[in-house]
Amino acid sequence: MSSLAKPVPILPADTMQKWPKLAWSKHATQLVSLAVCVLLWHLAASQHWRTGLVTFANVPQPLEVLAAARDLLVSPKLLFHLRASLFRVLAGFGIAGLLGVAAGLLIGRFTWAQRSLLPPLEVLRPIPAVAWIPLSVLVFPSSEASMIFITFVGAVFPILLNTIHGVEGVDARLIASARSLGSGRLRVFAEVIVPAAAPAIVTGLSIGMGTCWFCLVTAEMISGQFGIGYYTWESYTLQNYANIIVGMLLIGGLGMGSSALIRAAGNWLMPWYRRGAHHP
């Protein structure tokens, strides 16, 4: 009887041994980079650096921002701010994801859709989110719907364009091979085109989520109650400079985390695709 074969590791043995060191080196580099940025910020704010273009005389120091963040953390308003902003971002992003992916698949695959849908979308795409505020106030009956629309505008075009490029970049030989094996149009679309375009779609969703948070301050300028964007804008009007940076960092952290979640979900849903798998 032959003995059971030993399992073959996915990575070479030397690479598997070095993996913890490589991971630690990566995280250490990231932490050092953040620490250097905070140090430069502290030096610029504490020494009141001035140049011909900018001045740091009114910029709060990191410890002031940390104290303001601690005050916000214990404040009962934090939950209301987070809940309001998360709802607006997720609602706008959800609608943008559905419409952007669907329209991108159609435009990227069918000539009639490209000719009829793409021209008006290309005209609307360069319009910044802030320019949509007056129209959104006139069109939507509530400020909540207006804010969701602004976040939708910020997310839909990156999702749309990445989906189109993903579909157009599908290797024609894959489609021809599927058809030669007897696959119909619908099966080719579902089992060849969509999986091949999925990495580009996930990239568009990740970028779209980031632009949703980017447009949050613009959207919540309409509101007068709660939201991280409103908190940041209100801090500016009240000249609470430390709170401005707290709001900015909170938006940045939430945007980075939500985009990372989308990329992680995409990697989990795409076992056939691994970053760098096509490289030797």
Condensed to tens digits (0 to 9), the pLDDT of residues 218-269 reads 888 776 688 898 898 888 888 888 999 999 999 989 989 999 999 999 888 8
Query: Is residue 242 included in any domain, yes or no?
Result: yes
**222 closest CA partner among 169, 124, 162, 147:** 147
Q: Is residue 38 part of a domain?
A: no
Q: How many domains does the chain have?
A: 1
Tell me if 186 is assigned to some domain: yes
89 is a domain residue: yes
Query: Packing angle between helix 194-214 and helix 143-168, nearest 10 degrees?
Result: 150
pLDDT digits (tens, 9 = 90+) for 110-127: 889 899 999 999 999 999
Instruction: State the DSSP string of 61-117.
Output: PHHHHHHHHHHHHHSTHHHHHHHHHHHHHHHHHHHHHHHHHHHHHHHHH-HHHHHHH
In a domain, 127, yes or no: yes
* Closest by CA position to 128, among listed 214, 222, 233: 214
Q: What is the pLDDT of residue 185?
A: 81
Given a contact cutoff of 8 angstroms between Cβ atoms, the answer to whether 214 and 232 are in contact is no
Q: To the nearest whole number, what is the mean pLDDT of the chain?
A: 84
CATH code, domain with 218? 1.10.3720.10
How far, in Å, CA of 203 to CA of 214, rounded? 17
User: How many Å apart are CA 263 and CA 280, to the nearest integer?
Assistant: 23
Residue 278 covered by a domain: no
199 assigned to some structural domain: yes
Per residue in 149-199, pLDDT (tens digit) is 999 999 999 999 999 999 998 888 888 888 888 878 888 888 888 998 999
* Per-residue pLDDT tens over the stretch 39-97: 888 888 888 777 777 888 888 888 999 999 999 899 888 999 999 999 999 999 999 99
Cβ contact 158:101 at 8 Å: no
This prediction has a pTM of 0.81
CA dihedral 160, 166, 168, 171 (to 10 degrees): -170
Range of the domain at 224: 62-269
Q: Would you state the structure tokens that stand for residue 275, as one six-digit string?
A: 């970053």
24-38, 120-134, 157-171, 203-217: range with lowest mean pLDDT: 24-38
DSSP 216-238: HHHHHTS-SS--HHHHHHHHHHT
Closest CA to 178 of 164, 160, 159, 191: 191
Domain assignment present for 244: yes
Distance CA 227, CA 217 (A): 9
Is the four-CA dihedral 184, 185, 186, 189 of positive or negative sign? positive
- 178 and 191 Cβ atoms separated by less than 8 Å: yes
Shortest CA distance to 255 belongs to which of 217, 216, 220, 213? 213
